[in-house]
Amino acid sequence: MSRFEFPKQMNFYQGKVRDVYTINNLLLVMIASDRISAFDVILPKLIPYKGQVLNQLSAFMLERTRDICPNWLLTVPAPSVSIGYKCIPYKVEVVVRGNLCGHAWRTYYNGQRILCGELFPDDLKENDFFPSPIITPSTKASEGHDEDISVQEIIEQNLVTEDEWQQIENYALSLFERGRQIAAERKLILADTKYEFGKKDGKIFLMDEIHTPDSSRYFYAEGFEERQERSEKQKQLSKEFVREWLILNEFMGKEGQTVPEMTDEWVEIISNRYIDLYEAVTGEPFIREQLSEEEVYYKTLDALNNIT
């Protein structure tokens, strides 16, 4: 998508999957692209409807968690566009884990029993539930890979004050519990997710996307325990299948590695997986919408005029 110019625009930032416009230093316009990233690398092909899935699913979840904590979202003027408050972000990603999977499992499988200051018990299997959800934060890198960090290090490095961290931790665990409840209604398990928080007018706000396939991992609840008992691979809805495909093709974002070829068939499979997840999580049909860049611009402009 082309780079837009909006009235009172002060800054533009292109992230891995989103284009972010700062308006009058008060608002953000976030346009979710069809780009896809894994291992902090943007893959070479666009995934049709991915941006719409992420944007609309995140809006769905933000509306259903407003009673837990304030969030940044004001309006969704177009399928892939959200407008909300500009907050000062904390340079920490708050990763909440209910199950031993993904990065945590890879760490555990390699023999480590401490992650971000959290001690894991022995004799766990991949995807087992933790006794209660844990938080394993990471630094929010502007470039390159995010790094694991403990709560003690967060406080010592003045990334977040101790009082702020207590509030953020409470918010994150409550949001995760709500996400689990919503997932359970759809016969899914929210296994892990990440949240980003910022500050506005002295208050902590939830920022960015929540409970999407890019930020979360879902398992199908039906048959979960039986698969665990048989040590079988769990059926899941997340972006992990893309990471697994990359790992199988010897790519993990490390220097000297080459992204494997993404065929048109594989791109379509990824697109359909994202759509399937949207419908599974929300219980609503996904309506494919293809707006021209001009339509996106003017719908966003109208929304900005109504806000300001």
- What CA–CA distance (Å, rounded) separates 35 from 149? 28
Integer CA distances (angstroms), 145 to 35, 40, 51, 138, 232, in order: 18, 6, 22, 10, 30
**Per-residue pLDDT at 142:** 56
- What CA–CA distance (Å, rounded) separates 193 from 214? 9
Coil, strand, or helix at residue 31? strand
**Per-residue pLDDT at 240:** 80
**Per-residue pLDDT at 236:** 85
Q: Report the pLDDT averaged over residues 137-159.
A: 84
* Average pLDDT for the chain: 93
* Digit-coded pLDDT (tens) for 102-123: 899 999 999 999 899 898 988 9
Q: Report the pLDDT averaged over residues 152-159.
A: 94
- What CA–CA distance (Å, rounded) separates 8 from 4? 12
Q: DSSP labels for 132-175?
A: EEEE--EE--SSS---B--HHHHHHTTSS-HHHHHHHHHHHHHH
Q: Which domains does the chain have, with CATH numbers?
A: 9-87+262-307 (3.30.200.20), 90-241 (3.30.470.20)
- The fraction of the chain above a pLDDT of 90, given in percent, is 83
Q: Which residue from 254, 162, 197 is spatially nearest to 70, judged by alpha carbons?
A: 197
Distance in Å from the first CA to the final CA of the chain: 25
- What CA–CA distance (Å, rounded) separates 260 from 253? 11
Strand ranges across the sheet with 18-23: 9-14, 18-23, 27-32, 81-85, 73-78
- What CA–CA distance (Å, rounded) separates 302 from 306? 6
Q: Which residue from 49, 68, 79, 54 is spatially nearest to 180, judged by alpha carbons?
A: 68
* Digit-coded pLDDT (tens) for 158-213: 999 999 999 999 999 999 999 999 999 999 999 999 999 999 999 999 999 999 98
Flag the least confident range among 23-32, 79-88, 146-155.
146-155
